[in-house]
């Protein structure tokens, strides 16, 4: 005998404004099995939860339906409340009458009718619910951080400090990421390297951290608490444990025409190289496409000059396989390709550079030794034009629809640094809006504009071209409402940032959701910003959305604390909504086994008592610790032996029938 309770939430006016709560309650009361129905302003509040708990006890409810916001929001809350009142938490169903109803329908009649249908479907389902018990699974006390930029480093350091081993997998030959390429950081103007390199060193020396550089994660299987990852460590052709980083090989290498990635291709590097002076690990790597020895078999100079005997031309890619309890994505970003914006002549004029290129030009370790020189002729520029929002907030489809968030601030930084060091250089900045929400950010921008006389022009640039050895910029000044033509020596493009191209591949491997811009989706945009909806996958840094350094570091720490919270546990409760096979119905055909992505189904021979007939049969068995509850197996099972707890054939069909009533 079912005793169902229905609880209808007003959510203040969020639901009550477009759904006639009284009618939903009245309708609920006449549903088969319903013995109690009540509404309340905020069902999720303590008082609201108490209404539910009291009703469960008083009426001996066997199941409850809460008509409220999305189950993704408060299902867990109401399950917990039910459980506290002695009802199995899986005897709770949510009718989503907010996101799927009151918020999208303006007409109250329509909204009320739909809310009633959704309530009816949830009641129909809950009458078929069965109490479920969550199982337990192990937690491997080791974390994997994918990406060794500031986000990955900070996350790893925090996890390691809590006493858990962490592996950082970095695709480049050194950790450090984009931050290592920056000259100064806003709004304090402290040297980026000076604050980053100690962290890099700490990551190297921390005994709980293993750095796996020049490596990529190839495969990930498993689930929260026990992921298995296969990591490809690419051949460096240099023995990492032997190389002393002396750099002699670099000076002797005859193949010097490689583009220096660290300096954004503004100068060259040899085929064997250490990415930059503070690289961690401070170990050389050979660019196999550029090395003469590896391509022709001749040369071998580096091997000859290496006193440590670290060169090994026969080195092969190696594979590391490891188990992890949690995985953090910290795959970072890159600037978009500015050559898509022909009007700025980036691909044709050497003196049109991106902000990250300017960053290298201004850096003491950069291609010009930190002296501001025009790339085309190495002369001192007297005028520089900055163009903001190149590819950000773009509706043309060539760029990104979002704001890249950091460009306004770094442009102000560049402008200020140039005006400070070279007061003779005129600086103009074309902008759409200047966005400076952040501690001391607006003060910083005002300093650039007011104290340093940076010429901020509200308006966009239509075209940049080269003429008689200098650049011409044609734009509009929206405030003066006039077209301006500026002669200048350099143009700096504040290019939009986009997630690193590896993000999508990694996200797919981790089954983490990803949005249309390739940023990783968080479990909840406000309440769970550092977790992916996939349990055990956490997000750190720009892979989740554009961020500056302080935000990245705080998010990295937040991700670490979530990981630590997970790794502290000895056991995890598993999702009890898993597949289950009825051995009386099972044909033993193996179709389910073949579609299971987790290898959770196996076969065994069982002595079956089929209504008095005893037979030995081959039957499917579900390993509940491995099953993640997708339900793929249920549909390939023609006899319907395989069913999914919590989403059974009967339950879903009951919902269908209730909706189509």
Partner 1 sequence: MQAISAKIIERAKELMREGTVTKVAGWKAGEFFYDAEPNIFETAESLDGLVYNRFCAANLSKYMIKNSAFESAGKVLVILKPCDTYSFNQLLTEHRIDREKVYIIGAGCEGMCDIDRVRALGFKGITGIDEKGDGKTLVVHTLYGDGEVNIDDVLVNKCEFCKGKAHKIFDELISDNEDEGPRGDRFEGVRALEAMSPEERFAFWQGELSKCIRCNACRNACPACSCRKCVFDNAASGVASKANTDSFEEKMFHIIRAFHVAGRCTDCGECTRVCPQGIPLHLFNRKYIKDIDEFYGTYTAGEEAGQRGPLITFTQEDREPNSVSDKGGN
Partner 2 sequence: MSVNDTVDTAVNAAAKEWKPKIVAFCCNWCSYAGADLAGSSRLSYPADVKIIRVPCSCRVNPMFILKAFERGADGVILCGCHPGDCHYSTGNYYTRRRMTLLFSMLDYIGVERERTRVEWVSAAEGARFSKVMNDFVAKIHELGENVKVGDLRCKQ
Contacts with partner 2, residue ranges (CB under 8 A): 70-73, 96, 98-101, 103-107, 110-111, 113-114, 117-118, 121, 507-508, 511, 513-516, 521, 533-534, 577, 595, 597, 628-632, 634-636, 644, 647, 649, 652-653, 655-657, 659-661
Structure tokens at 518: 């390739």
618 binds, among partner 1, partner 2, none (CB under 5 to 8 A by kind): partner 1
**Sites for partner 1 among residues 572-591 (CB under 8 A):** 584-591
Between residues 373 and 635, which has the closer beta carbon with respect to partner 1? 635
CB 185 within 8 Å of CB 195:
yes
**Sites for partner 1 among residues 168-227 (CB under 8 A):** none
Determine if 659 is a binding residue for partner 1 (CB under 8 A).
no
Segment interacting with partner 1 (CB under 8 A) among 225-233, 300-308, 489-497, 648-656 = 648-656
Determine if 511 is a binding residue for partner 1 (CB under 8 A).
no
- Which helix (H) or strand (E) segment holds residue 335: the answer is strand 333-335
**Would you give the distance in Å from CA 604 to the centre of its chain?**
41
331 binds, among partner 2, partner 1, none (CB under 5 to 8 A by kind): none
Shortest CB 437 distance to partner 2, Å: 22
Other residues' Cβ atoms within 10 Å of the Cβ of residue 563: 30
Shortest CB 342 distance to partner 1, Å: 33
Structure tokens at 642: 């395989």
Task: Please classify residue 83 by burial: count the beta carbons closer than 10 Å to its beta carbon, then call 0-12 exposed, 13-18 middle and 19+ buried.
Answer: middle
Shortest CB 635 distance to partner 1, Å: 9
Shortest CB 498 distance to partner 2, Å: 15
Q: Which of 252, 617, 621, 625 binds partner 1 (CB under 8 A)?
A: 617
Between residues 248 and 535, which has the closer beta carbon with respect to partner 2? 535
- In whole angstroms, what is the distance from residue 520 CA to residue 531 CA? 10
DSSP result, 42-84: -TTSHHHHHHHHHHHHHHT-SEEEEEES-HHHHHHHHHHHHHH
Between residues 27 and 287, which has the closer beta carbon with respect to partner 2? 27
Fill in the DSSP letter of residue 125.
H
Q: Which of 524, 569, 571, 594 binds partner 1 (CB under 8 A)?
A: 594
What are φ and ψ of residue 258, in 5° steps? -75, 145
Between residues 135 and 438, which has the closer beta carbon with respect to partner 2? 135
Between residues 88 and 587, which has the closer beta carbon with respect to partner 1? 587
Say what angle helices 192-205 and 150-161 make with each other, to 10 degrees. 40
Determine if 615 is a binding residue for partner 1 (CB under 8 A).
yes
Determine if 571 is a binding residue for partner 1 (CB under 8 A).
no
Between residues 313 and 598, which has the closer beta carbon with respect to partner 2? 598
Structure tokens at 500: 């690193």
- How many residues of this chain bind partner 1 (CB under 8 A)? 25
Structure tokens at 134: 């969550």
35 binds, among partner 2, partner 1, none (CB under 5 to 8 A by kind): none
CB 99 within 8 Å of CB 69:
yes
Shortest CB 591 distance to partner 1, Å: 5
- Of 620, 627, 657, 625, nearest in space to 644 by CA: 627
CB 121 within 8 Å of CB 655:
yes
Shortest CB 593 distance to partner 2, Å: 14
Segment interacting with partner 1 (CB under 8 A) among 320-328, 349-357, 548-556, 611-619 = 611-619
Between residues 72 and 309, which has the closer beta carbon with respect to partner 2? 72
CB 227 within 8 Å of CB 532:
no
Structure tokens at 85: 């009142």
Shortest CB 245 distance to partner 1, Å: 43
Between residues 322 and 582, which has the closer beta carbon with respect to partner 1? 582
Determine if 616 is a binding residue for partner 1 (CB under 8 A).
yes
Shortest CB 520 distance to partner 2, Å: 10
83 binds, among partner 2, partner 1, none (CB under 5 to 8 A by kind): none
DSSP result, 457-526: EES-EEEEEEETTEEEEEEEETTTTEEEEEEESEEEEEE-EEE-THHHHHHHHHT--B-TTSPBPPSBTT
Other residues' Cβ atoms within 10 Å of the Cβ of residue 611: 6
What are φ and ψ of residue 127, in 5° steps? -65, -20
Between residues 333 and 341, which has the closer beta carbon with respect to partner 2? 333
Shortest CB 32 distance to partner 1, Å: 16
The interface mask with partner 1, positions 621-640, x = CB under 8 A, is ---------------x-xxx
Shortest CB 633 distance to partner 2, Å: 9
Between residues 308 and 632, which has the closer beta carbon with respect to partner 2? 632
- Of 507, 522, 531, 511, nearest in space to 628 by CA: 511
268 binds, among partner 1, partner 2, none (CB under 5 to 8 A by kind): none
CB 262 within 8 Å of CB 276:
yes
Between residues 242 and 584, which has the closer beta carbon with respect to partner 1? 584
- In whole angstroms, what is the distance from residue 126 CA to residue 182 CA? 57
CB 160 within 8 Å of CB 208:
yes
Shortest CB 595 distance to partner 2, Å: 6
Between residues 240 and 518, which has the closer beta carbon with respect to partner 2? 518
Q: Which of 422, 465, 603, 647 binds partner 1 (CB under 8 A)?
A: 603
602 binds, among partner 2, partner 1, none (CB under 5 to 8 A by kind): none
DSSP result, 70-122: -HHHHHHHHHHHHHHTTS-GGGEEEEE-IIIIITT---HHHHHHHHHHHHHHH
Between residues 183 and 522, which has the closer beta carbon with respect to partner 2? 522
Shortest CB 131 distance to partner 1, Å: 18
CB 168 within 8 Å of CB 156:
yes
Task: Please classify residue 270 by burial: count the beta carbons closer than 10 Å to its beta carbon, then call 0-12 exposed, 13-18 middle and 19+ buried.
Answer: buried
Other residues' Cβ atoms within 10 Å of the Cβ of residue 254: 11
Between residues 105 and 393, which has the closer beta carbon with respect to partner 2? 105
**Contacts with partner 1, residue ranges (CB under 8 A):** 584-591, 594-595, 603, 605, 610, 615-618, 636, 638-640, 649-650, 653-654
């Amino acid at each position: 005998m079912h005793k169902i309770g229905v609880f209808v939430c007003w959510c203040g006016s969020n639901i009550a404004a477009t759904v006639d709560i009284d009618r939903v309650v009245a309708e609920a009361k006449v549903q088969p099995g319903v013995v109690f129905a009540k509404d309340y302003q905020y069902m999720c509040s303590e008082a609201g939860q108490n209404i539910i708990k009291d009703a469960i006890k008083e009426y001996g409810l066997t199941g409850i339906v809460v008509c409220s916001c999305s189950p993704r929001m408060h299902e867990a809350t109401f399950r917990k409340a039910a459980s506290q009142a002695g009802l199995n938490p899986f005897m709770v169903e949510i009718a989503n009458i907010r996101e799927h109803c009151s918020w999208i329908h303006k007409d109250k009649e329509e909204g009320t009718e739909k809310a009633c249908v959704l309530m009816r479907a949830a009641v129909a389902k809950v009458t078929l619910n069965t109490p479920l018990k969550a199982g337990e699974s192990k937690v491997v006390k080791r974390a994997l951080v994918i990406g060794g930029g500031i986000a990955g480093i900070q996350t790893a350091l925090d996890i390691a400090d809590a006493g858990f081993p962490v592996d950082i997998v970095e695709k480049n030959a050194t950790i450090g990421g984009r931050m290592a390429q920056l000259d100064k950081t806003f709004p304090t103007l402290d040297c980026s390297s000076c604050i980053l390199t100690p962290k890099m060193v700490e990551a190297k020396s921390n005994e709980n951290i293993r750095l796996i550089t020049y490596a990529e994660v190839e495969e990930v299987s498993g689930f929260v608490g026990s992921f298995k990852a296969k990591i490809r460590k690419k051949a460096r052709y240099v023995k990492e444990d032997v190389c002393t980083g002396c750099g002699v090989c670099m000076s002797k290498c005859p193949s010097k025409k490689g583009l220096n990635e660290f300096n954004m291709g503004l100068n060259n590097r040899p085929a064997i190289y250490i990415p930059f002076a503070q690289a961690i690990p401070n170990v050389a790597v050979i660019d196999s496409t550029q090395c003469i020895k590896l391509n022709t078999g001749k040369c071998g100079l580096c091997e000859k000059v290496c006193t440590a005997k670290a060169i090994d031309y026969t080195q092969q890619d190696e594979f590391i396989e490891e188990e992890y309890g949690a995985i953090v994505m910290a795959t970072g970003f890159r600037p978009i390709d500015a050559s898509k914006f022909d009007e700025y002549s980036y691909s044709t004029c050497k003196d049109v550079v991106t902000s990250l290129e300017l960053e290298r030009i201004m850096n003491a370790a950069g291609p010009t030794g930190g002296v501001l020189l025009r790339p085309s002729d190495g002369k001192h520029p007297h005028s520089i034009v900055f163009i903001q929002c190149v590819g950000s907030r773009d509706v043309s489809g060539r760029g990104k629809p979002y704001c890249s968030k950091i460009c306004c601030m770094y442009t102000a930084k560049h402008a200020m640094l140039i005006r400070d060091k070279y007061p003779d250089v005129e600086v103009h900045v074309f902008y759409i809006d200047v966005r400076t929400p952040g501690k001391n950010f607006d003060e910083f921008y005002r300093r650039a504009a007011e104290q340093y006389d940076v010429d901020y022009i509200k308006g966009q640039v239509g075209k940049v071209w080269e003429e008689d050895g200098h650049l011409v910029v044609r734009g509009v000044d929206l405030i003066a409402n006039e077209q301006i033509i500026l002669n200048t020596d350099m143009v700096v493009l504040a290019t939009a940032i986009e997630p690193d191209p590896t993000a999508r591949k990694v996200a797919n491997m981790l089954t983490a959701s990803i949005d249309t811009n390739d940023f990783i989706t968080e479990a909840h945009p406000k309440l769970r910003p550092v977790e992916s909806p996939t349990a055990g996958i956490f997000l750190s840094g720009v892979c989740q959305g554009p961020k500056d350094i302080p935000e990245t570091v705080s998010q990295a720490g937040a991700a670490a604390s979530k990981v630590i919270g997970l790794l502290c546990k000895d056991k995890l409760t598993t999702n009890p909504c898993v597949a289950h096979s009825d051995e009386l119905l099972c044909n033993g055909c193996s179709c389910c086994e073949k579609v299971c992505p987790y290898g959770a189904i196996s076969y065994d021979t069982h002595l079956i008592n089929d209504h008095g007939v005893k037979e030995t049969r081959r039957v499917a068995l579900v390993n509940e610790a491995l099953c993640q509850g997708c339900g793929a197996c249920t549909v390939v099972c023609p006899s319907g032996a395989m069913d999914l707890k919590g989403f059974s054939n009967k339950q879903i069909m009951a919902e269908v029938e209730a909706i189509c009533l």
